[in-house]
Amino acid sequence: MTPEVISVTHGVVGYDGRPVLRDVSLTVTAGEVVAILGANGSGKSTLVRAVLGLVPLSAGSVTLFGQQVRRFRQWHRVGYVPQRLGAGSGVPATVAEVVASGRLARRGILRPPGRADREAVAEALRAVGLADRAKDPVATLSGGQQQRTLIARALAGRPELLILDEPTAGVDTASQEAFAGALRGFATDGGTVLLVAHELGPLRPLISRAVVVHQGVVAHDGTVPDPAGHHAAPDHDHVHPHGPEEPAGLWSTT
C-alpha cells in the first residue's frame, strides 16, 4: 500500500466561531500531485493551514506522515510556499540568501552551510530558472521571479512533501512555466505535492487529482474538472487575493 502522507479526517475549522471547513476529509498518498480548487473564500488556504498545523481544528484530525500534526516534528520533510512574500519586507536579502534559508530545518541554525547545502541551493535555483539571478537582491525581481525564489527555497530543503498556496496566481507566463518544470522534476523524483490553485494553466498536466472545496466541504475529489462559465474565458480577470465572493460552480463538479 502506498504510504499516506497527508490525512485529514472530518476536519472542522472556524474563525471566531464562524465555521469555514465544516467536515473535510482528504487523503494524499506518496507521489500524488493534488490540487485544491474552489471559489474565493471557500476555505482552500484554511485547509492548507490546517494540514500544516497553523490553525487548530475544532473537531477531526490531521496527520502528516502518519503522525498527529500537533506532535509532528520532522518539518525538514515538508516544504511550504505561502501565498506571497511578505509585502515590502524591506530585507535586502539576495535571491541565494533567501533560497539558502530553506536549508535551515536541515542543518540547524548553528552549523555553517556545507557543500551539501550549497549544492542544494544551486540545484533549486537551476530548477526554477533563476541561477543567473542568485546574487541579485530579491527586491529587484518581478513578482513571478520572487514567487519562484520562494519555491526554490522550499525545494532547497529537499522535502518529501511540497505544499503550495496559489503558487502561480498573478505570475507571468515565463515564471508559471519555470514553476511547472520545477514541479515536474520534483514529482518525477517521487515527491508529493498539495497545491492550492485558482487556475491551473501549465500545471494542469501534472495534477493527478483535484479536490474542490465548496461551502466548507469537499464537493469533488477525482479528475481535474473543466473550468466552468466565465472563468474559462481567455480575458477573464481573476480578482485576487480575497476579492468578492464568486458564484458557486466556478469549477464544474460533474
Ligand X SMILES: Nc1ncnc2c1ncn2[C@@H]1O[C@H](COP(=O)(O)OP(=O)(O)OP(=O)(O)O)[C@@H](O)[C@H]1O
* Distance separating alpha carbons of residues 99 and 143, to the nearest angstrom: 16
- Beta carbon of residue 139, minimum distance to ligand X (angstroms, whole number): 24
**Which residue lies nearer to ligand X by CB, 81 or 125?**
81
* Distance separating alpha carbons of residues 112 and 92, to the nearest angstrom: 21
**Which residue lies nearer to ligand X by CB, 41 or 249?**
41
- Beta carbon of residue 89, minimum distance to ligand X (angstroms, whole number): 20
Three-class SS of residue 194? strand
- Beta carbon of residue 209, minimum distance to ligand X (angstroms, whole number): 18
* Distance separating alpha carbons of residues 56 and 22, to the nearest angstrom: 13
- Beta carbon of residue 194, minimum distance to ligand X (angstroms, whole number): 13
**Which residue lies nearer to ligand X by CB, 20 or 164?**
20
Chain residues binding ligand X by CB under 6 A are 15, 20, 38, 40-46, 241-242
Burial of 252 (0-12, 13-18, 19+ CB in 10 A): middle
**Which residue lies nearer to ligand X by CB, 137 or 143?**
143
* Distance separating alpha carbons of residues 41 and 35, to the nearest angstrom: 16
